[in-house]
Amino acid sequence: MEINEIAQHRQFATPILSPAVYTDSYEWKLGVRMYLNGVEGGSGRYVAIFVHMMKGEYDDLLDWPFVGRITLSILDQSGARYRTHISRIVQAKPNLMSFQQPTDAISSTGCGLVNFAPIPEVFGPRYVKNDKLFLKIEFSF
């Protein structure tokens, strides 16, 4: 996922909501909410990222709750031979409300990381280039 206008999002402290992402054909639909200036205890210090289940057209075919593993990565754009992506894992837990079948278009309850990565690291030249960054979302079951 390409995120543009990073400086503007940081200036106005607006959360970024990703376009909908399906884990695979005919499967779960999710969205990612990203706070570039942080939230809660990490505000001003850490980028925060949360995963939210979304109502999808295949929900009646699926087993709920969602129980996969989600790897979120901010991609290294430095062009270095050995890239250092910032990656963290969100493990779905069946007892959390975040991974139950959503009743709204997007679940208001998300699961993620308040301290995903330090703000100075993310907004250095390695991860932000031409006022954009890339967030990769991978699923495993």
Identify the CATH number of the domain in which residue 39 sits.
2.60.210.10
β-pairing, 2-4 vs 111-118, is unpaired
> In this predicted structure, what is the pLDDT of residue 59?
97
Q: Could you give the CA distance from residue 18 to residue 72 in angstroms, rounded to a whole number?
A: 12
> In this predicted structure, what is the pLDDT of residue 74?
98
> In this predicted structure, what is the pLDDT of residue 10?
93
Nearest to 140 by CA among 102, 107, 104, 92: 92
> In this predicted structure, what is the pLDDT of residue 20?
94
> In this predicted structure, what is the pLDDT of residue 99?
97
Q: Could you give the CA distance from residue 44 to residue 40 in angstroms, rounded to a whole number?
A: 9
How would you write the pLDDT of the chain (141 residues) with one tens digit per residue? 999 999 999 999 989 999 999 999 889 999 999 999 999 999 999 999 999 999 999 999 999 999 999 999 999 999 999 999 999 999 999 999 999 999 999 999 999 999 999 999 999 999 999 999 999 999 998
For residue 108, what are the contacts with CB-CB under 8 A and spacing of at least 6? Answer: 52
> In this predicted structure, what is the pLDDT of residue 62?
96
> In this predicted structure, what is the pLDDT of residue 136?
97
Query: What's the number of domains the chain is made of?
Result: 1
Which residue segment(s) compose the domain that 85 sits in? Answer: 2-140
Other CB atoms within 10 A of residue 23 CB: 19
Q: CA-based angle 24:28:31, to the nearest 5?
A: 100
> In this predicted structure, what is the pLDDT of residue 25?
87
